[in-house]
Structure 1
């Protein structure tokens, strides 16, 4: 069965796409540097409510849950029950309704309405057995039955979770196994929490590192105290973890530089099995000590909830640094190795008991705070000096303001803009507020605007304060730290003053003389003559800066001649999905055949081969070669979307952009994982914008930002590229991560360029 763009569709066909089918499509578009898609019926909701209104309701429910979790908050839980009930009734096919079902069941149980909660969980699990939030729902359902004393039902539920075809290896399933090992009479509906470490790595600083005694990958005894007197880097990682692989060159370089200076690395792997770990270690020549934490014993000891996670331990066994990345990793090791060697050379630092632990001073106490840091409320480890921003283009962003309207910085080009990072709980911020209000009132009609970016933990106190103080400028709530990370904010208040060309003219942690600085820049901006708008015939399709960046990227990826010579690409890969419980699900092996205008993906499952075929005009789905129906709306959305996906293939995209036939605009520079990148803006075949992030260091494509529209739903998507390797003289990323409707990773195991491909692969048997 296939659907063409103009073909009518028999509406008697089942109008849903199976979970399996959607998984295939997700894998295909991930390989094509795109996001996971949803079926057409996932957006069949009340047509009187806009997609944005539905999304806002969902976000409100999520915020209430976050505010009520792990604390006694009956009023918030009651609100969560009411709003979640209304939501699942009104929007039963919303793509994230499974998450709302979980919130509803959880809230009912927490309120003591356990029977109602179990009914919600049972209904959800029965109707949506493969949804992402089934795993935590089964876990909570089992606990609820234990709370009611219905241990037989609880056992049955835990076993469903442990034997679930998709979630059996997740953390909830592991917890369920632990519960089943307990005496039934002791089960009261909550697993006792062992006295393990905090899951916040920074809280470890200054504390003794927990010892462990295990056998490493070579079968030799391994304990931490064996390395007392040496600096030790404890590195929690996995071969499937993209950020871990991104950091690997830094780790290797640091090891080679300091391995003979009483420095050791112990890699703690969270891989699902030992064989790929051993293969990877041998292939990459990782010469330090390795341990496969199959039971997650050491992971639990250190409270590790995400990877990469790094602990730097001094010669006395005290944790001195955590969360090290990039250049800061080597710098921290260099400092600690130097300190350690100095101590060993100084007889006055030696004790009669070389293995005894001394009373240590946390590293944070050894650092004298600067006046700025004393004045400001600390948020996170430094990313960059504020002074380094001056003279650079201000990174653009696209977010929603507090009134629910789209907000982007480039909208205010031609005006002076004050970006104010603050919070209602920040004393220095509140102290500065009268000056900011005075400045706004004085210059608001002179092409001047303020954008307040709040670090508040919840929206309600922020909105209340803004209303009470009558702060008339634009405000946004930076709930997910997107803008703070974008601008490398290390504390608040922090202010950026941006001129009419979008260039940062002042940047300061702790603020600056706002009124004087604004007065000067507003005067300068108003004095500039208004330039006539250029017509399309006045401007080249690719501006000079963009062309320079594209040419450098083309050269870095292999050169124009080699890129243009690629007619097809065959990729073999493994796909992994990140689940709500922080576990990672192996989605299996895939093989995908790409041309510039068509593709085929075969997903090899344990009992079948699922295929999706796009021949440039039609979309086919097959199981073991047998066609499957696709809803017409889904097919239309997928066809348009796959055309964009093929357009985004870096090899062909760079080759096409270099021809100066597609409009390209340079829009600024931002950091991507600590690396400065240049951002280009292009238009895809669908008319949607694509942002391309090209590293200023390697000139490789490192990120795409774009939007995904399926039915009435639109979602922002982000795709990251790393682990570049040479394939026939062309640099190709072997690790790709896409975050949108879902969070998926792809590890490429083999790539062939210009392969012999049977054209019959692109046609359905029916």
Structure 2
């Protein structure tokens, strides 16, 4: 988290001021053609620093795709200034329906990079007017860039703000996890065998929702404990649902390696993690019978294991109390005969 904040602080320290002209560039697009900043004169430009290897770029790609028609209505051209090879960029664009120019940065100088994004991370974005001048401060990260995109799509990015009016992107999306007392975001996701799993199916039961990644070593330490938890209490007292990140096949192999029988649903990148406000693994949320989050998020294997141990104790106690109650109810009651 500290390193991310340092990157954002450095980006803001080196950003172009409003009214500055974007430095000239001539980069190749996916077809190999040279594209210059002058080619977009007469249009406003939503210029996004991008990478197909950036998980956060993948996270906001659907938002960028949805805004394309609205951009066109306001004479705005979406342009992705990307890293990586043409094929990986083409695949990401096709997966999300991105029809905008994608310019590849390879090397240094105006023929190899855009100086305004040099040494900066992804995603970041500028809005340029018809003459290539900055009209909005640099948007940094997967929270600010989509908000700026909404401002552009609504035409708000190009008007003067009223005195005291703050830009929408000064708000921040949750990154520390949804708090206890928050309704758990519902979902319908495919599991590793292609069956649809819905959180609503578990209404009336407590759910331990665990976010994992097949390439996450701390997640690997959790698997044996999750298997035992599900075997002991997964029948009716506590539902365990795993949210694996990445490819279904990799998550299926991981579940089968440890013999896990509970549902393992798949998010390709961070789609559901975004809804729950945290972008790391492993983390876990305890959801009550009413669909409300009972505890603040458990982060890391140690906190999740501590929560699992506590749940085993609580569930075991509940089972014992239920048995005693049923036993008491089944005992014959003494009859009261008149004297």
TM-score w.r.t. length of structure 2: 0.49
**The structure with more radius of gyration:** 1
- What TM-score does the superposition give when structure 1 sets the normalisation length? 0.24
* Structure with the largest fraction of strand: 1
